[in-house]
A and B are shown apart, each in its own frame.
Chain A
Amino acid sequence: MIKYITKRLILLIPTLFGVVTIVFFMMSLAPGDPARLALGAHATPEAVEAMRHELGLDRPLHIQYLNYLKQVAVFDFGKSIKTGEPVLYELLSRFPATIELSVVSIIISTILGILAGIISATRQNSMIDFGAMFAALVGVSMPVFWLALILIMVFSVGLNLFPTGGRINIRLFMDPLTQFYLLDAIVYIFREGDFSYFLSALKHIILPAVALATIPLAVIARVTRSSMLEVVRQDYIRTARAKGLSERTVIYKHALRNALLPVITIIGIEFGYNLAGAVLTEEIFSWPGIGRWLYSAVTARDIPAVQGGVILIAVVFVLVNLAVDIFYAYINPKIRY
């Protein structure tokens, strides 16, 4: 197993090389001059030229490329044109927010999705089944930005239950320990007996997490249902019943463990999308995560920032997939590395 993981991690290198190359040339081919954008419309041609020189944009493309490769090899992603901060620092300061949101949302969609799938499958063609699958269809069909706005309208503006955006009440200031506010807030509970941080963080994350969870939830529910329907017809389920086991054991132990195999793959993919592409959700809920940051970097033609962001997302995507494969092997004994 360790050998397999090592092998997969080594395979990460060529993948990243490809990602770096593609991202680099794509950004170079895109129209617009980063120096001009950075300095504004009124900058003198001399100033723009000086900026181009400083950014290395006046050198031939292949030299720029080789230089960039050298930098990336030592985890130097350059400085953001817009803020002047190192890209790596900016990435690392924003990524925890995205991870936190993605994890909470994938937990919601996994638990509810699998439950809905099982209930639908065990009551196939009942009203509950039709209802759940119709809801799932609505779920996948709803654009995230629209759902997010509706959630804000109903639960923030209308019922005043949840805040409209941000990660925590701005009057509550927390020492950044892990940068995962929910975890930090739990530390506060133990350290100071103060629940207000946790409640505030929780309240802030619920709406964006729900908005982000909707599509994965619907997909997971549908995949679980069809996988369960397939599995409950298998001979070994009849065997389990013939052993005198309770229906609960038959479904939740014997059937579910087999039915989960395709579901895990889906969860991994959806989680990867969440990490990479929560742009709209983050934007609407003012969630200071990587998606929102990357979006503004793209519009500002902040090349080093975009390159760094995309590379980070690629790494995370590959790592999530690796985790999925390892977990898959864990529950499917036929796969052993």
Chain B
Amino acid sequence: MIKDHQTAVLEVDRLVTEFPTPKGTIRAVNDVSFQLHQGETLALVGESGCGKSVTALSIMGLLAHPGRISSGTIRYGKDDLLGYSTSQMRKIRGNKISMIFQEPMTSLNPVFRIKDQMMEVILEHQDLSSKAAFDRAVELLGMVGIPSPEKRIMDFPHHLSGGMRQRVMIAMALTSPDPGILIADEPTTALDVTIQAQILQLIRKLQEKNGMSLLLITHDMGVVAKMADRVAVMYAGKKIEEADVIECFENPCHPYTRGLLNSIPSNKKYKGANRLEAIQGFVPNLLELGKGCPFTNRCTVAMDICQAAFPSQAQIIEGHHVCCHAVNPTDADKGGRP
């Protein structure tokens, strides 16, 4: 597959998303930047609550109340999506940037037929007759591997299994003749393993077919290995490492990334240990973050400076960036690369 790594279709720059709460403001996404290139798959990785989903919802403009984007830009093509009006944003959603969710069982509206839910999004964004929209919906359902789509389209969501519902969600996300970006928020987490593989394969196939870019949000390093071209690792609202997928697996630099890879049961490279390794400690409370690196209290190579300041981004090789005092060449005198 040829990927044009020159053109960034989506460029998130210094995004800060906050949730004011009675106890203080939570920065769910804290100064996160990344680029998504034409036709590539970028995996956004991290454990629950690290801000991956909030990043995705920020891009879609679908933050739940009282969440707000307090600074940064989200550049789509030439425009900053944050400057878009509600109606401009609606033309992007479900058309240029679509999203599928973790919970296929509850993501479809239970009281409408698949037909209505599919046709609705087609008619919203394309100038088609009902008949043409219906045909397009049937075609899409066939494309995502739903058997006898012309019959299934009359079903209600509860007639379908979880895997089938996720296929419908995918079909619904790809109604545009030119879908630019698909954001998949843990698309297979709720599905059992054999169905997971099928859904991932389907997404890959569709991506190769129409050349869309995929922002894949997951905490499953197995899924990352199978799907991603590049990986961005998030921790407590910060992006801490970003690399090419092979580089990420072969030369993980941030202690957290290494911890994540170590906790994969079947990872050959790290198979030496008998016990399944886990990262010690807990994710810090986002209300109680200091100025330093949020991973400090769980980190095996933490130094004094880690408490004091968040490390700046350092480049390991081209395209491999990491935020860690222990590996930052400018901090080499304080310890260097472990």
Contact = CB atoms under 8 A, between A and B. Distances in A.
Contacts of B101: 235, 238-239, 242
A236 B99 contact: no
Interface string B99-125: 101010011111111000000110011
Interface residues of A, number: 21
A258 B101 CA distance: 20
Contacts of B90: 244-246
B156 interface: yes
B320 to A, nearest CB: 32
Interface in B75-105: 86, 89-95, 98-99, 101, 103
Contacts of B91: 244
B172 interface: yes
Nearest to A242: B99
A237 to B, nearest CB: 8
Nearest to B92: A244
Interface stretch (A21-29, A106-114, A329-337): A329-337
Instruction: Name the prevailing secondary structure of the A interface residues.
Output: helix
Contacts of A244: 89-95, 121, 124-125
Interface size classification for chain B: 20 to 34
A12 B91 CA distance: 54
Interface in B118-138: 120-121, 124-125
Contacts of B169: 239
B103 to A, nearest CB: 5
A234 B124 contact: no
B308 interface: no
Interface in A81-117: none
A257 B113 CA distance: 13
Contact of A243 (B156, B158, B172): B172
B58 to A, nearest CB: 13
Contacts of B120: 243, 245, 249
A139 B98 CA distance: 45
B92 A234 contact: no
B203 interface: no
13 contacts: A236-B109, A240-B109, A242-B98, A242-B99, A243-B94, A243-B124, A244-B89, A244-B121, A245-B124, A257-B111, A333-B111, A333-B156, A334-B110
Interface of A: 234-236, 238-247, 249, 254, 257-258, 331-334
Interface of B: 60, 62, 86, 89-95, 98-99, 101, 103, 106-113, 120-121, 124-125, 156, 158, 169, 172
> Lowest 4 CB-CB distances: which A-B pairs, in order?
A244-B94, A244-B93, A243-B94, A235-B106
